[in-house]
A and B are shown apart, each in its own frame.
With several copies, the nearest count.
Chain A
Amino acid sequence: MTDTPFVIAGRTFTSRLIVGTGKYSSNAVMAQAHQASGADMVTVAVRRVNISDRTRESLLDYIDTSRMFILPNTAGCYTADEAIRTARLGREAGLSEWVKLEVIGDERTLFPDNEALIEATRVLVKEGFIVLPYTNDDPIACRKLEDAGAAAVMPLGAPIGSGLGIQNVNNIRIIREFSRVPLIVDAGVGTASDAALAMELGADGVLMNTAIAGAEDPVAMADAMRHAVIAGRLAARAGRIPKKMYASASSPVEGMVGR
């Protein structure tokens, strides 16, 4: 059974795992983790250059841009205007039209402000951006983002960095059923089984940062996530057995000795 390719806005990716670049103990560790993850898309943040610090090495020195596609985000933006401005700057810095759009509604949960997110999506799509919005697991918001021209919908599984795993499997399933664009579970994954579950629910991809960067051994966890996403995708397509309350023997019940 060969899988359908993972295509977003006409671009094909070899891996359904998208990883971040934040919170690593060092850029060297990050580079190894990226390698182990098998990802070919990484998210980055757009921030002011540190004027005072000349020596500061560039993040990009540690990303193999020949293999990795760079996805700038608008993390930390609390209004549509801020997010739009940041997206435009990201485009100049990266010379690509793609943006992971975040409009945060609250700093403790980092949950999205869907109203502002939809508005920002409309504006940026008109400007030719390929918009991948980070949203919550609200099927109605996802549909509106799709109608606004989003290239994918990226509902959270749980709060960013919480590692709680997917809190509402039913909503993810419903969003998958309703969406005609790729569904990427963004945020909330804590360990491999969470990522596998996301894919089993029908996600086309999973985006994570803290689960890998924050692990005691980020490289091993990146490898774990690579396998988990492959496993979950395969299982989703293999047609799992139905759940039953009772047992069903896996060995024959006839031919027992001495009966």
Chain B
Amino acid sequence: MQITLNGERVELEEPMSVTALLARLEIDPRRVAVEHNLNIIKRHRFAEVVVGDGDTVEIVNFVGGG
């Protein structure tokens, strides 16, 4: 299956939770915000929300800015 992650096509073997996806990407869940198909996912729901084929995911964090 394939998802669009931060604007790029990414291959996944199977659907997985946001928690799992972040783990796979080695991203600390406490410092990012996640948007799933244009819906923002509250942090406490990372475990239950499942990313499936064709889904669009945005993972953002803070970077230097003015």
Residues of A within 8 A of B (CB): 20-24, 30, 43-49, 51, 54, 58-60, 70, 72-73, 75, 85, 88-94, 160-161, 187, 207-210, 213, 249-252, 255, 257-259
Whether the Cβ atoms of B33 and A21 lie closer than 8 Å is: no
Whether the Cβ atoms of B63 and A45 lie closer than 8 Å is: yes
Q: Which residue of chain B has the shortest Cβ distance to A19 in the bound complex? A: B66
Docked CA distance A47–B27 (Å):
14
Q: Is the interface of B mostly helix, strand, loop or mixed?
A: strand
| B31 CB to nearest chain A CB (Å) | 6
**Contact partners of B63 in chain A: CB under 8 A:** 21-22, 44-47, 59, 251-252, 255
**Contact partners of B62 in chain A: CB under 8 A:** 44-47, 58-60, 70, 72, 90, 93-94
Docked CA distance A162–B42 (Å):
38
Q: Which residue of chain B has the shortest Cβ distance to A45 in the bound complex? A: B65
Whether the Cβ atoms of A43 and B65 lie closer than 8 Å is: yes
Count of inter-chain pairs, beta carbons less than 8 A: 121
Is B32 part of the binding interface, using a Cβ–Cβ cutoff of 8 Å?
A: yes
Whether the Cβ atoms of B66 and A251 lie closer than 8 Å is: yes
Whether the Cβ atoms of B58 and A24 lie closer than 8 Å is: no
Residues of B within 8 A of A (CB): 5-8, 10, 25-28, 31-35, 40-43, 58-66
| A188 CB to nearest chain B CB (Å) | 11
Taking a contact as CB atoms closer than 8 A, the residue among A22, A51, A187, A207 that contacts B64 in the complex is A22
Docked CA distance A207–B64 (Å):
15
Taking a contact as CB atoms closer than 8 A, the residue among B10, B35, B42, B61 that contacts A47 in the complex is B61
**Contact partners of A43 in chain B: CB under 8 A:** 65-66
Which residue, A48, A73, A249, A257, has most C-beta atoms of chain B within 10 A? A48
**Contact partners of A21 in chain B: CB under 8 A:** 63-66
Given contacts A92-B42, A93-B62, A251-B65, 15 further A-B contacts (CB under 8 A): A22-B64, A45-B63, A47-B60, A47-B62, A48-B59, A49-B27, A90-B62, A92-B41, A160-B66, A210-B66, A251-B64, A255-B60, A255-B63, A257-B60, A258-B7
